[in-house]
């Protein structure tokens, strides 16, 4: 898959330069950037913010969650400790990361008026929606724009004249807790993503794409690209052999150990449990997940990557478990606590968005299910779960999911005027499963 003349660093730099050029000197009111997993989205946001501020143009930054805002503030402070930054926060207790209080150049306030005149002010879309200004900001950066709902953009779009929209189109779409079929097909469907509304009304806006994933290893990028981004392929920034995962303790021959070795070798592993219909918190699958995590830690893993010349130990904070539902995450946490494993992140796909780990262990969303609902088939869910890792991803799944997919072809009603998303979850699931089948290890040999 490697071509000799492809220099990922140069390709990424070219894309970034073009984006910054359009943002700083372009004539359009908006610029859209699609970024695959781990392609340096946050780095781009920070750089664009610094360049705009450096050019004397005050700007506002809109992110979706408080954690994302705090993360951007910390990155900005790290890159340029002299730049005064405003962090607008809600009036709740613990509204922002207390680490910000230690930074002298960061001013925090629950009132926008207190932050007036600062070169950069950051907050969540929800908080910005309550802000009123006499004169709009000349620039804005909207982060995670594909996870932002159209109605949420409607509430803040009056605050700025022009904006850079950055996001990952392959991750989970925004959702609403009530039906919104009534507006399906309207260009401004309030439950659609902010980017789809923006582009429907402003099709002439320049659209860019970051072409290189620095997170995903060479073993994962082709599969994730083909399965979830078929029309906008991307590459990994590293090559085969640049990253290695090795374990000090040899395999004991059990299913979990063999799947760990398979994943260390190839980047992917599928631990298959016997076919069975189970409740969501399938006790056997949950135990399998916990056992794999426990063995990953017990076997003294070491990760070699382009970041460090020496192998870095695979510690609990470098491992994450991903599930589809919160009760599954709770069950895995309980099982890990029983096995005496603290500090491993266990969360749902929604909450793992934007995060990065060395190894991920994933409970497949369709494992043990008697039906394949739209929720479990959602392309973004599987994409998030399969693209959080720098080294290896291990899926835990009951057998028979391919049959389940064939029994439940997509039956969502077709809505006129809506943009049909490709690939659909059905196809993406098949693509991932057929690849994983080559790295299958049975639970009990």
Binding region for another protein (CB under 8 A)? 29-30, 94, 126, 129-130, 150-151, 153-155, 157-158, 176-180, 182-183, 186-191, 194, 197-198, 201-202, 326-327, 330
Contacts of 380 (CB under 8 A, 6+ apart): 170, 171, 172, 173, 349
Instruction: Compute the least distance from the CB of residue 136 to another protein, in Å.
Output: 10
Phi/psi of residue 442, nearest 5 degrees: -75, 150
> What's the min distance (Å) between Cβ of 74 and another protein?
21
Q: CB of 235: closest distance to another protein in angstroms?
A: 32
CA distance 157 to 119: 19
Q: Is the peptide bond before 423 cis (omega within 30 degrees of 0)?
A: yes
Within 10 angstroms of residue 371's Cβ, the number of other Cβ atoms is 10
- Minimum Å gap between C-beta 154 and another protein is 5
380 conformational bin, left if phi > 0, alpha if psi -120 to 50, beta if neither: alpha
Which of 118, 194 has the CB closer to another protein?
Answer: 194
Owner of token pair 């399969």 = 386
**Strand 235-236 relative to strand 30-34, pairing:** unpaired
Distance of CA 341 to the CA centre of its chain: 25
Q: Which phi and psi angles does 364 have, rounded to 5°? A: -60, 135
Q: What span, in angstroms and rounded, lies between the C-alpha atoms of 237 and 218?
A: 8
For another protein, which is the closer residue by CB, 106 or 195? 195
Query: Least distance to another protein from the beta carbon of 295, Å?
Result: 27
> Residue 174 or 267: which CB sits closer to another protein?
174
**Shortest distance, CB of residue 95 to another protein, whole angstroms?**
13
Tell me the C-alpha to C-alpha distance, in Å, between residue 410 and each of 228, 423, 427: 17, 12, 10
Closest contact distance (angstroms) between CB of 94 and another protein is 7
- Our CB check for another protein shows the closer of 265 and 347 to be 347
Q: What is the closest distance, in whole angstroms, from the C-beta atom of residue 32 to another protein in the complex?
A: 11
User: Looking at beta carbons only, is 4 or 177 nearer to another protein?
Assistant: 177
Buried b (16+ CB within 10 A) or exposed e, 92-103: eeebbbeebeeb
Choose between 224 and 377: whose C-beta lies nearer to another protein.
377
**Cβ nearer to another protein, comparing 158 with 233:** 158
Q: Which is nearer to another protein, 289 or 431 (CB)?
A: 289
By C-beta, is 186 or 226 nearer to another protein?
Answer: 186
- Smallest distance, Å, CB 290 to another protein? 17
Nearest distance, CB of residue 183 and another protein, angstroms: 5
Residue by residue, DSSP assigns 372-419 as: --HHHH-HHHHHHHTTSEEEEEEEEEETTHHHHHHHS---PPP-TTPP
**Buried b vs exposed e over 386-418: b needs ≥16 C-beta within 10 Å?**
bbbbbbbbbbbbbbbbeebbeebeeeeeeeeee
Q: CB of 256 within 8 A of CB of 295? A: yes
| Between 64 and 387, CB nearer to another protein | 64
247 vs 293: CA distance, rounded Å: 13
**Residue number with CB closer to another protein (50 or 154):** 154
* Rounded least distance, CB 20 to another protein, Å: 21
DSSP result, 68-99: HHHHHHHHHHHH-TTS-EEEE--SSTT-S-GG
**Of the candidates 79, 87, 82, 83, which has an alpha carbon nearest to the alpha carbon of residue 119?**
83
């Amino acid at each position: 898959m490697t071509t000799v003349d492809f220099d990922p660093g140069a390709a990424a730099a070219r894309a970034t330069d073009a984006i910054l050029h359009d943002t700083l000197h372009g004539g359009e009111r908006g610029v859209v950037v699609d970024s695959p997993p781990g392609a340096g989205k946050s780095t781009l946001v920070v750089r664009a913010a610094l360049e705009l501020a450096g050019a004397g143009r005050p700007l506002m930054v809109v992110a979706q969650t408080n954690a994302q805002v705090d993360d951007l503030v910390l990155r900005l402070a790290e890159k340029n400790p002299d730049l005064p930054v405003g962090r607008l926060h809600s009036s709740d207790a613990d509204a922002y990361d207390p680490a910000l209080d230690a930074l002298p150049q960061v001013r925090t306030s629950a009132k926008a008026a207190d932050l007036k005149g600062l070169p950069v002010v950051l907050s969540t879309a929800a908080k910005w929606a309550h802000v009123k200004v006499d004169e709009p900001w000349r620039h804005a950066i909207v982060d995670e724009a594909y996870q932002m709902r159209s109605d949420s953009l409607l509430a803040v779009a009056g605050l700025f004249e022009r904006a850079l929209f950055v996001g990952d189109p392959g991750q989970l779409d925004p959702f609403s807790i009530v039906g919104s079929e009534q507006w399906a097909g309207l260009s401004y469907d309030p439950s659609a993503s902010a980017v789809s509304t923006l582009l429907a009304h402003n099709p002439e806006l320049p659209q860019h794409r970051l072409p290189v994933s620095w997170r995903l290893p060479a073993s994962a990028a082709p599969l994730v690209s083909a399965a979830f981004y078929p029309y906008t392929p991307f590459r990994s920034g590293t090559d085969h052999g640049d990253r290695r995962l090795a374990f000090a303790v040899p395999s004991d021959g059990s299913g979990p150990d063999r799947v760990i070795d398979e994943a260390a070798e190839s980047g992917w592993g599928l631990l298959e449990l016997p076919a069975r219909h189970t409740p969501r918190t399938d006790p056997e699958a949950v135990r399998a997940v916990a056992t794999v995590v426990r063995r990953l830690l017990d076997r003294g893993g070491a990760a070699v990557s382009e970041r460090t010349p020496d192998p870095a130990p695979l510690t609990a904070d470098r491992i994450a478990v991903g599930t589809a539902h919160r009760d599954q995450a709770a069950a895995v946490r309980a099982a890990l606590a029983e096995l005496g494993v603290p500090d491993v992140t266990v969360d749902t796909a929604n909450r793992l968005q934007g995060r990065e780990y060395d190894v991920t262990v994933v409970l497949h969303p369709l494992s043990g299910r008697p039906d394949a609902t739209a929720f479990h088939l959602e392309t973004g869910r599987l994409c998030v779960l399969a693209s959080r890792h720098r080294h290896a991803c291990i899926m835990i799944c009951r057998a028979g999911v391919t049959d389940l997919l064939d029994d439940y072809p997509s039956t969502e009603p077709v809505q006129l005027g809506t943009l049909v998303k490709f690939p659909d979850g059905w196809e993406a699931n098949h693509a991932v499963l057929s690849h994983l089948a080559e790295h299958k290890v049975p639970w009990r040999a």
